[in-house]
């Protein structure tokens, strides 16, 4: 059985169409995904605050409904040395479709890289606690 993130483990398919595919079958996010629960939670974090985004989250929509969001991560403790702490998570997806095309952690002095499941969970927890 293919490895999936913790959030996808209990998922039940409730829709017609393609089967789900977790974005975290390996250590880092994969853009070969469809309705991954962890990734949907990240996107929901942005969507549930569309009218009043919390400080640290910015979203942009193009005329073709491509969506981009940036989530500030400088305020989150990743328990890593300073040079390995990301400054933001960048996400790109089209409309409200099930696939998320890209997620990248951006750093000040090292190249961007896809996030891990654990890093996404830390981001979610921080912003969920902040709104709570």
**Chain segment 96-114, per-residue pLDDT in tens:** 788 999 999 999 999 999 9
The values of phi and psi at residue 43, to 5°, are: -65, -40
The pLDDT score that the predictor gives to residue 34 is 95
CA separation for the pair 115, 83 (Å, rounded)? 16
Specify whether the CB–CB gap between 36 and 24 falls below 8 A.
yes
The side-by-side arrangement of strands in the sheet containing 66-72 is: 57-61, 66-72, 88-94, 100-106
Q: To which residue do tokens 């991954």 refer?
A: 36
Q: Which is higher by pLDDT, 43 or 65?
A: 43
pLDDT for 66: 84
pLDDT of residue 82: 82
């Amino acid at each position: 059985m293919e490895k999936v993130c913790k959030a996808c483990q209990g998922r039940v398919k409730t829709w017609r169409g393609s089967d789900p595919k977790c974005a975290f079958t390996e250590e880092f996010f994969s853009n070969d995904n469809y309705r991954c629960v962890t990734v949907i939670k990240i996107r929901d974090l942005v969507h549930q605050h569309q009218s009043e985004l919390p400080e640290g989250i910015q979203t942009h929509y193009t005329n073709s409904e491509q969506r981009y969001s940036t989530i500030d991560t400088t305020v989150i403790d990743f328990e890593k040395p300073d040079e390995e702490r990301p400054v933001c998570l960048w996400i790109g997806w089209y409309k409200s479709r099930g696939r998320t095309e890209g997620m990248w952690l951006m750093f000040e002095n090292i190249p961007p890289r896809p996030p891990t499941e654990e890093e996404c969970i830390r981001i979610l927890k921080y912003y969920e606690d902040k709104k709570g």
